[in-house]
Amino acid sequence: MTTPLSISPPAPEKTSTKPASKAEDKSYQSVNPYDGKVFKTFEELTDPQLETAIKTAAKCFDTWRDTSFAERATIVAKAAAIMRENADDFAEPVTLEMGKLIDQSLGEVALSADILDYYAENAERFLATETLEPGSGEAEIVSNPFGVLFGVQPWNFPYYQLARFVAPNLMAGNVVMVKHAGCVPQCAIAFEKLWKDAGAPAGTYTNLLISHDQVNRVIDDPRIKGVALTGSVEAGKIVAARAGENLKKSTMELGGSDAFIVLDDADLEKTVKWAVGAKMNNTGQSCVAAKRFIVVESLADRFLEYFQAALMDLRPGDPMDKATTLGPISTEGALVKLLDQVEQAIAKGAELVMGGKRIDRPGSFMEPTILTNIQPDNPAFREEFFGPVALFFRVKDEDEAIALANDSDFGLGGSVFTKDVARGKRVANRIDTGMVFINHPTGTKADLPFGGIKNSGYGRELASLGIQEFVNKKLIRTTSIDDPA
């Protein structure tokens, strides 16, 4: 079996129980949020090293584009097999670098492998030549790869985010370069090593440990043909603008403030169980985590009572221990930001139902938190809370629930809970987001398209749509030389 890079034991002189300083945050650093200890620090690439990497990727594309779907699929499927065979080795650095509960890290590894297999099996069908009927002669649409693509990816799902960008694009004949988040460098390195172990040619997949200034240099480089980012709205505006200046296609997935709508005929007991998972998966650090719980008045009191009790049962601890049910926030900086958001929300009139504080223990832990009585002039009404903070709203009926769900700058996902599926579909059709799930939290699978609208970005990943974003849909028209124009 091939074993990926795993977390290295920290050297004594580099280990610290203190959070990384602001200066240290600028480098690529493995810091365990469970105890604040620094595992390892990595140097950024020099400009000459970056130039070599881009040159290698561009050269690789010249040959990779001409490989068959079968040849590409062999490598992509091999990468999936390696992930499954070494699931524990891949999962461990996720938990140690960003604090995900170990069972959830293992689930992420499995999901990532599923995505690789999905595109290995389906890419050729998705990109099959389309024959047209123009009336005379012949016409067809073929799918040609763009070239070298650049992805900027976040820390919260260190492999899944990569897999959903990389798998469709490698199978389409593109090659990819990725700047991963600074707090998960060992996950980033392990994923790059995965492709080498799977037999991918040098330059097919390149991990870039680069600075923000170097990100601009990569986007500006004429050898880069497309840009994808998953991150904050602020980062999206910067990267999309830079790509736009260079007239380069881009896709943006920029987070969300998903509504979790509970209608008056919902199965309350089952709905609350889903609500806990929807809020607390990955300690609430998910773009599609339920963030706004919108409950009709007739069920509001009971829902809040049961929901609060379930959150109070969660127990903080070592995320490597399968008995732990509440993991840490990914970084000290992220925790401080969340605490400040809660403090500002309360200062502007929100009511604290539970939590709201740092847990008194080592590491970056926060109490599960519920805020209510949040008025439209409260900053919390518009913000995304990326952690274990739930915003609770009471509404009188279905129409008011829909109006409140749509009163958001974001439009990624959402969910509707009702015993009447037809009613659920009607409500879903009126919600302004890229995805709506009925009787289930917003989720992700290889064969379901993923993406949003409004400040949640543009473009789609996964399913058949995900492989179409960075291909040239070229028309080839054949007519007789004697045909009239």
Q: Which of 324, 264, 330 is nearest to 300 (CA)?
A: 264
Q: What is the band of 485 on the pLDDT scale with cuts at 50, 70, 90?
A: low
Residue type, 372: T
Residue (of 180, 184, 181, 204) closest to 194 by Cα position: 204
Check: pTM over 0.75? Answer yes or no.
Answer: yes
pLDDT band, very low/low/confident/very high, at 18 (cuts 50, 70, 90): very low
What type of residue is 98?
Answer: M
Catalytic residue (one of 287, 367, 398, 461): 287
- pLDDT at residue 4, as a whole number: 36
Tell me the average pLDDT across 439-458: 98
- Per-residue pLDDT for 7 more than 50? no
Per residue in 260-301, pLDDT tens? 999 999 999 999 999 999 999 999 999 999 999 999 999 999
Beta bridge partners of 259: 292, 414
Which domains does the chain carry? 12-254+459-472 (3.40.605.10), 258-446 (3.40.309.10)
Q: How many CB atoms lie within 10 A of CB 434?
A: 23
- Written as one letter, the residue type at 383 is E
- What amino acid is encoded at 182 in this protein? G
Instruction: Return d(Cα 407, Cα 382) in angstroms, integer.
Output: 9
Residue 484: pLDDT band with limits 50, 70, 90: confident
| pLDDT tens per residue, range 375-433 | 999 999 999 999 999 999 999 999 999 999 999 999 999 999 999 999 999 999 999 99
pLDDT of the residue at 483: 86
Answer yes or no: 383 catalytic: no
Whether residue 253 lies in the annotated active site: yes
Can you point out the beta strands (E) in 324-403?
A: 351-354, 369-372, 389-395
pLDDT at 11: 32
Q: Given the residues 253, 332, 384, 469, select the one marked as catalytic.
A: 253
The string of pLDDT tens digits covering residues 76-115 is 999 999 999 999 999 999 999 999 999 999 999 999 999 9
